[in-house]
Amino acid sequence: MSAHLQVSGLEVTVSGEHGERIRIVDDVNFEANKGEVLALIGESGSGKTTIALALMAYARRGCTISAGQIRIGDTSVLELSREQLFGFRGNRVSYVSQSAAAAFNPSKSIMDQVIETAMLHKLSSKSAARSKAIELFSSLALPNPETIGNHYPHQVSGGQLQRLMAAMALISDPDVVILDEPTTALDVTTQIEVLRAFKKVVRNRGTTAIYVSHDLSVVAQMADKIVVLKNGTVREAGETMQVLDAPSDEYTQALMAAAKPSLRVESLKKPDSETEAALLELRDVSAGFGRVDADGMPKFTILHDVNLTVERGTTLGIIGESGCGKSTLARTIAGLHPAAAGSICLDGVPLATHLSKRTRDQLRRVQIVFQNADTALNPAHTVEQVVGRPLVFYKGISADETHKRVAELLAQVKLPVDIATRRCAELSGGQKQRINLARALAAEPDIILCDEVTSALDTVVGAAILDLIAELRRELDVAFIFISHDISAVRSVCDDILVLYSGRTVEFGKRENFAAGPGHPYTDLLVSSVPELRQGWLEETSARTILRPVDNAVDVDEICAFVDRCPVRLDGICDTKRPPRLIHANGNEVLCHLPQAES
Amino acid sequence: MNRVRGAGLVGLVLVIAWGLIALFGPMLAPYEVGAIVAPDVFERMGGAHLLGSDYLGRDVLSRLLNGARFTVGLSFGAALLASSSGAALALFSAISVRWVDETVSRLMDALISIPGKILALVIVAAFGSSMVLLLLIAAVSYMPGAFRIARSLAVNLNQMEYVQVARVRGEGRVHIAIFEILPNMIHPLLADFGLRFVFVVLLLSGLSFLGLGVQPPDADLGSLVRENISGLAEVAPAIIAPALAIATLTIGVNLLIDSLASGGRSVTDEA
């Protein structure tokens, strides 16, 4: 019997600068049986989304599907006419994109959008479609399946929206559903729930799915077959088990190596002397947005009494989900977002909250590296201008010396010297991030704040940046604050780790301690939510119990902030009292009511 | 400029042609600009007078070649003044504290609410017409528009992370404005400058047509249309030629800007 979905000799081209055709997908072949999940994996630019879109006979602007055959069931997709495609797309093949938030129309209710496909293709009556949607909502483990459809997209969370988009795709009972990086924009704790819901619904309905992702660990949970892509060609294809256990291709091996957590820093640096003041010390720092009240506190508090110390030459990791205040913390330290309360000391000397009141030398000693190198480097400047500016600004050295020093710095971040004359806009993402680091190093700072420096990069490129940071740490006497949502990245380069949850430090301690037993329930949740690079992990990880929401009348500042998500909370204590800061047996400071044995 | 193709190329040719005419027109003119050389008024095209003769029997081609200088030169000057002062004020406003920004912006809003042509009429009526005054009037009327566009660009760029990096480094406001923000708004500003140029050409031509613009014995393209208005019934080339001249100049600039603007946009996309 021939496969349900068959792609052979697929070729997609774009027209180049001078009208020539450039192949971006070249001779791609794969097939999937009914009910199978096939994963397309590769880094950005590998052609994985282009291939996924080609399954709907769709090519993005400027692209042409120039050769090959795609067969779904007994339909030859590429031979369909315009009118036939109208009935085919969304009906027999449907698509779930990376950003559900951008895919939903904010001015229509969710239900209207979910059943729109069914209405458009006249598949069923409105009421039948509605009841089917509700059935899908409940099988996707969405809360209140009966009523969630009446909400508008901005009223539900990102993870819920992603599942609602899956419901939208599945409403027409498609032969093939394409999931294009559906969990990449989500936090790990949300990702695991969405993955579980996707897996269940795909299995139960026997849908054939194409799962597009760059994350091998996620793919290991979802897929039956894996196709590894690079530069538009298939590098390796096979059963998931076989690809994971015995990758034959060099590139697959590199991907596996980048996905495996590794320790990049071996030994802890000891502070030179016990009496010396810490390099950076934050005491009860609070910050927020909005109107400031009589006590000097803003209306919306983002950071609540954060304390931290960074010793010279060590690295502190700050981890938490999106919205927990980790970027605000970096901006507060840098002086971009003035703290409302508390003190920030550099070498024992208090820093002004706003950067305009700091001395030039204080500014030099604290450098910040932003997440997105695309916007952090001025596209109008050359690399030499970008890296050379701090040298001229802080040291006022001559043009000749600047030129020499820029070359040294480029070598330090492992870039060729001839890149200096190029404009930043012409560089790749990884190169930009290295320039970004080189600029920070040019100031010869004492501490560098790295805000999510690897999250916008491909796995392999991101791993190389982590290696670079680890190496810079060994060679230079620079301290880092490494902010990330990725716990394995934080673990691989940091000495101390601080876990931030809704602007509060819930756990703080040495890296080794985090491996030495349970800590704060949130940390445990975070750690257990990171997918492991093996099949069956998703099934083994216990499903989360749905928790009763906490009475909203209680002032959240007076109780534990994590209470409504905590799997081990004690009713009557956690939802009535503010948690104490305890030292656990593993040596960490933990903000929790629970004695350690129970957590 | 290697992206200029098709319609953009037509625009480029027209703009270069008008630029050359403005520079060298008087040297190319076959007759004295004020001399009555034709035996008849409103002569047809061809023969001794390529574009015929005007209402006094002067050579239209010579008058056109001389008049282009005023239209192109004055408009260029006024547009340059409007765009550069608008952009400078916008940068100043964007990097200043909130209340300065608000004050400057509201002042510009007030200025933009005064119709340019009426303002020009009032000023010319009060002070009489002179080249310098015309230039200033045109510049002042179109400066608030340039300010608005430049300010919105500058405010957006001011939020970019590279500007924040510069701020964390301790750079002064002037450095941030000139080295970090300005280079990234040059493309859209150039496109805007072209638009302003077209507006000014039309404003000045309109004023001249009403008799309030460039005064005799000098004549810009708008004045040429006005003084030959009585030839309209005869379809005299004396009125059609300067009207066509204004049209080709403005259309040429517009075509060029359109092709540059899309090229410019792709540059910002890469950024």
Size of interface A-B (CB pairs under 8 A): 56
Range in A14-23, A231-240, A278-287, A445-454 with the lowest mean pLDDT: A14-23
Distance in Å, alpha carbon of A95 to nearest chain B alpha carbon? 27
For the purposes of burial, counting CB atoms within 10 Å of the CB of A526, is it exposed (0-12), middle (13-18) or buried (19 or more)? buried
Decide: helix, strand or coil at residue B184. Answer: helix
Answer yes or no: is pLDDT of A288 > 90: no
Q: What is the pLDDT of residue A448?
A: 93
pTM for the model stands at 0.78
Contacts of A79 (CB under 8 A, 6+ apart): none
Answer yes or no: is pLDDT of B77 > 90: yes
Name all domains of chain B by residue range, CATH numbers in brackets. 2-29+51-270 (1.10.3720.10)
Report the alpha-carbon distance of residue A159 to residue A137 in Å, rounded.
13
Q: Give the burial string for A78-99 (b: 16+ CB within 10 Å, else e).
A: beeeeeeeeebbbbbbbbbbbb
Q: Which two tokens stand for residue A1?
A: 């019997």
Q: Which residues of B touch A375 (CB under 8 A)?
A: 160-162
Report the alpha-carbon distance of residue A178 to residue A39 in Å, rounded.
10
Answer yes or no: is pLDDT of A328 > 80: yes
Answer yes or no: is pLDDT of B169 > 60: yes
The Cα diameter of chain B in Å comes to: 76
- The DSSP code sequence of A383-413 is HHHHHHHHIIIII---HHHHHHHHHHHHHHT
Report the alpha-carbon distance of residue A235 to residue A41 in Å, rounded.
10
Alpha helix stretches (DSSP H) within A82-170: 82-88, 100-103, 110-114, 116-120, 126-139, 158-170
Mean pLDDT taken over chain A: 84
pLDDT in tens, A508-543: 888 888 877 778 888 888 888 888 877 778 877 766
Nearest to B169 among A370, A378, A393 (CB): A393
Q: Which residues are A229's β-sheet partners?
A: A234
Answer yes or no: is pLDDT of A76 > 50: yes
pLDDT band for A556, please (50, 70, 90 cuts). low
Backbone angles phi, psi at A279, to 5 degrees: -60, -50
pLDDT band for A38, please (50, 70, 90 cuts). very high
**Spatial contact of A284 and A305, defined as CB atoms under 8 Å apart:** yes
**Spatial contact of B266 and A425, defined as CB atoms under 8 Å apart:** no
Report the alpha-carbon distance of residue A147 to residue A149 in Å, rounded.
5
State the virtual CA torsion across A178, A180, A183, A185 in degrees, nearest 10. Answer: -150
CB within 8 Å: B184 and A443: no
Q: What is the pLDDT of residue A550?
A: 59
**Spatial contact of A183 and A196, defined as CB atoms under 8 Å apart:** no
Nearest CA in chain B to A357: B170
* Vertex A583: Cα angle to A578 and A588 (nearest 5): 110
Q: What is the pLDDT of residue A156?
A: 83
CB within 8 Å: B164 and A367: no
pLDDT band for B144, please (50, 70, 90 cuts). very high
Report the alpha-carbon distance of residue A50 to residue B222 in Å, rounded.
56
Answer yes or no: is pLDDT of B271 > 50: no
Q: What is the pLDDT of residue B112?
A: 87
State the virtual CA torsion across A415, A421, A422, A427 in degrees, nearest 10. Answer: 10
**Residue B176 DSSP symbol:** I
Q: Which residues are A23's β-sheet partners?
A: A13
Q: Which two tokens stand for residue A382?
A: 């050359």
- Chain B positions contacting chain A at CB under 8 Å are 160-162, 164-171, 180, 183-184, 270-271
Alpha helix stretches (DSSP H) within A19-68: 48-54
Distance in Å, alpha carbon of B164 to nearest chain A alpha carbon? 8
Mean pLDDT of the A139-145 span: 82
Mean pLDDT taken over chain B: 84
Q: Which two tokens stand for residue A461?
A: 């490129």
CB within 8 Å: B183 and A378: yes
Contacts of B184 (CB under 8 A, 6+ apart): A378, A379, A380, B157, B160, B268, B271
Q: Which residues are A38's β-sheet partners?
A: A210, A225
pLDDT in tens, A220-270: 888 899 999 888 888 888 888 888 888 888 888 888 887 776 667 665 555
Q: What is the pLDDT of residue A548?
A: 60
Answer yes or no: is pLDDT of A449 > 70: yes
pLDDT in tens, B115-141: 878 888 888 888 888 888 889 988 998
Range in A260-274, A454-468, B225-239 with the lowest mean pLDDT: A260-274
Answer yes or no: is pLDDT of A599 > 50: no
